[in-house]
Amino acid sequence: MALKMVEDAEERGLIKEGGTIVEGTSGNTGMGLALTAIIKGYKLICVTNDKQSKEKINILKAVGAKVVICPTNVPADAPESYYSVARKIARDTPNAHYVNQYENLANTLAHYKQTGPEIWKQTDGKITHFVVGVGTGGTISGVGRYLKEQNPKIKVWGIDTYGSVFKKYHETGIFDKNEIYPYITEGIGEDILPKNVDFKIIDGFTKVTDKDAALYTRKLAIEEGIFVGNSAGAATKGLLQLSNYFSKDDLVVVLFHDHGSRYVNKIFNDNWMNQNGFL
């Protein structure tokens, strides 16, 4: 999706040769943009918040990105939020383009054209449920739209976190600011309603606590040998919370966005886990 968003910007003349890509990111999109920037000859400035793991920041720097860190515990529209800072950097930098994965519908389109068909093909069209964490919304909306076009009976479930507005908004249509508070889980949930979240595609949400997300990330490594990131633990616990919706004949696909190497000093660190009351 990072490549798709950059190529879309090129086609629309929004970035020229030797220009600078600017993006607010929790890490994964930043990594995709960093690799794209290397191949295409752009500079990259990633703006993130201070709850993201140091590994993510160091990896982005290792592949040539400049990283700007902003506070987590501020409203989305505050001047110091990472959304606002990314926009300002893009405005103030010559030949710069703010990718904006939250509002950029090329994000959803990439998953509609690639991830969705990949899942459909690899399950031989037998998939009955798709379960995934929701952040920008590109994955769930793009994949969900493609799968429902193939089989309208397929159910699409989003994994949300406490401190995020998605679940209540989906169920009531109310954007409740009282739902918003700082949380630890990385990569899912939002305090805004990104354009890429197509709530009509989503059949429902379940919320997972920070503690459960962390513990299930570790359980995946210890019990399954799957070394993945924080949002994958949330997706797994969410899957179990949704178990009453599944039958033994269903084929449920859960997508993991992130790799465990980015959380060695957090989720896979006993001291950090103890400090947060998770062990």
Per-residue pLDDT tens listing for the chain (279 residues): 999 999 999 999 999 999 999 999 877 899 999 999 999 999 999 999 998 888 999 999 999 999 999 998 898 889 999 999 999 999 999 999 999 999 999 999 999 999 999 999 999 999 999 999 999 999 999 999 999 999 999 999 999 999 999 999 999 999 999 999 999 999 999 999 999 999 999 999 999 999 999 999 999 999 999 999 999 999 999 999 999 999 999 999 999 999 999 999 999 999 999 999 999
Give the tokens for residue 108.
């959803």
- Distance, in Å, from the CA atom of 37 to the CA atom of 148, rounded to the nearest integer, reads 33
The reply to whether domains 2-98 and 106-275 share a CATH topology is yes
d(CA 275, CA 265) in angstroms, rounded, equals 12
Domain map of the chain by residue range?
2-98, 106-275
Q: What type of residue sits at position 106?
A: A
CATH top class, domain 2-98: alpha beta
Residue 213: partners with Cβ closer than 8 Å, 6 or more residues away: 161, 184, 185, 230, 231, 233, 234, 237
Q: Which residues does residue 253 pair with via DSSP β-bridges, in sequence order?
A: 130
Contacts of 221 (CB under 8 A, 6+ apart): 227, 228, 260, 268
State CA 178 to chain mean position distance: 22
d(CA 98, CA 20): 9
DSSP-assigned letters across all residues of 209-229: -HHHHHHHHHHHHHHH---B-
Query: CATH says 106-275 is which class?
Result: alpha beta
pLDDT averaged over every residue in the chain: 96
Q: Tell me the whole-structure pTM to 2 decimals.
A: 0.94
Give the span between the Cα atoms of 185 and 230, in whole angstroms: 6
